[in-house]
Homo-oligomer: A and B are copies of this chain.
Amino acid sequence: MRIGIVGATGAVGQEIITLLSERNFNLESIRLFASPKSVGKKIKYLKENLIVEKIKQNSFKDLDILFFSAGSSISKKYAKIAQKNGCYVIDNSSAFRLNKNVPLVVPEINSETLKTNTRLISNPNCTTIISLMAIKPLMDLCEIKRVVATSFQSVSGAGNTGIDELIKDTKAAIHKKKFKNKVFDRNISFNVIPKIGDFESNLFTQEEMKLQNESRKILSNKRINLTATTVRVPVIRSHSISLNIEFTRKVNLKNIINALKEFKGIKVQDDLDPNLYPTPHDSSNIDDCIAGRIRIDYSQKNTISLWVVGDQIRKGAALNAVQIAEALRDKIR
């Protein structure tokens, strides 16, 4: 396999490089592309020093799989060219996610939608992936009517510049100095910001609508209703989502917990022991999402509440993309 990564110096690009080496992807070659300011940088991959290249129209010859993680505009500009060159493109941007000809894939959930003749595959939104890692096993247990999701999203969802801004803003706040925010609409240090993405005409944000629209596509279920409030919190890594899930019939707590435990890619950390529940610190830099605070909701019949955390750079982005590449590799062989 000859791999290329577009956006190789970003938070997700870097994580893809880490994962490819961790997982022994068995590469023949790897090429890195990034924006002009990063061109010429050296990045270590195993024992090699790779040099970051400029993206050009003819960059994509002799590559089998290309990861795009440099924003929608770059994906829109180059993904089609890469496909025409015979590459499989795994796109982390939102550019093609709702395009009906483009599979939107979480390998544990809908890998059957990957076909060898489809050369463009979208990687879903991070909060959507992490939420669905908990929702899918429950949906297999019993039909879901509605989900109320409230997210606690870390700053690395906005890339390395988001981490940088949180740290600088926090240092300034501790020293009682002013800090002019650039990445986030408001100062994020010691604050929470209840808006991610622009507002849509229905007053929900783009990020909130992704949960509804992408989930329905990934789950192949247009009857499931998901409503969200997505909030940026001063956490460096890992998103958390509080989920309130209404089923169409009564569910049993033990079955819920077992369904989560048996699902690949999620573990359960739940007990009355005061310290057994997952926080973003617990899921950072690991592959699995973690569910906890699982309880029957007394306020409405057939309803439960739970809490799920996941590393949004790993499972929410880079890991999911690499898993798609692995599934493709296995199909192409």
CB-CB nearest in chain B for A234: B234
10 tightest Cβ-Cβ pairs between the two chains A and B: A203-B295, A227-B299, A150-B150, A225-B299, A229-B242, A150-B242, A194-B307, A148-B148, A190-B236, A148-B244
A88 located at the interface, meaning its Cβ lies under 8 Å from any Cβ of chain B in the complex: no
| Cα distance A227–B227 in the bound complex, in angstroms | 16
Task: Determine how close the nearest CB of chain B comes to the CB of A211; give it in whole angstroms.
Answer: 10
Asked if B152 contacts A195 (CB within 8 A), the reply is: no
A165-220 CB contacts (< 8 Å) to partner B: 166-167, 170-171, 174, 185-187, 190-195, 198-199, 202-204, 212
A110-158 CB contacts (< 8 Å) to partner B: 146, 148, 150, 152
- Knowing A192-B240, A225-B300, A227-B297, say if A272 contacts B199 (CB, 8 Å): yes
Asked if A277 contacts B194 (CB within 8 A), the reply is: yes
Asked if A229 contacts B274 (CB within 8 A), the reply is: no
Asked if B234 contacts A242 (CB within 8 A), the reply is: no
A272-297 CB contacts (< 8 Å) to partner B: 272, 274-275, 277-281, 292-297
CB-CB nearest in chain B for A205: B293
Asked if B274 contacts A199 (CB within 8 A), the reply is: yes
With a cutoff of 8 Å between Cβ atoms, the chain B residues found around residue A185 in the complex are 274-275
Asked if B146 contacts A299 (CB within 8 A), the reply is: yes
Task: Determine how close the nearest CB of chain B comes to the CB of A74; give it in whole angstroms.
Answer: 24
Q: How many residues of A are in contact with the other chain, CB < 8 A?
A: 56
Q: List A residues at the B interface (Cβ < 8 Å).
A: 146, 148, 150, 152, 166-167, 170-171, 174, 185-187, 190-195, 198-199, 202-204, 212, 225-227, 229, 231, 233-236, 240, 242, 244, 272, 274-275, 277-281, 292-300, 303, 305, 307
With a cutoff of 8 Å between Cβ atoms, the chain B residues found around residue A174 in the complex are 167, 170-171
CB-CB nearest in chain B for A281: B191
With a cutoff of 8 Å between Cβ atoms, the chain B residues found around residue A204 in the complex are 295, 298
With a cutoff of 8 Å between Cβ atoms, the chain B residues found around residue A191 in the complex are 235, 279-281
CB-CB nearest in chain B for A170: B170
Task: Determine how close the nearest CB of chain B comes to the CB of A236; give it in whole angstroms.
Answer: 5
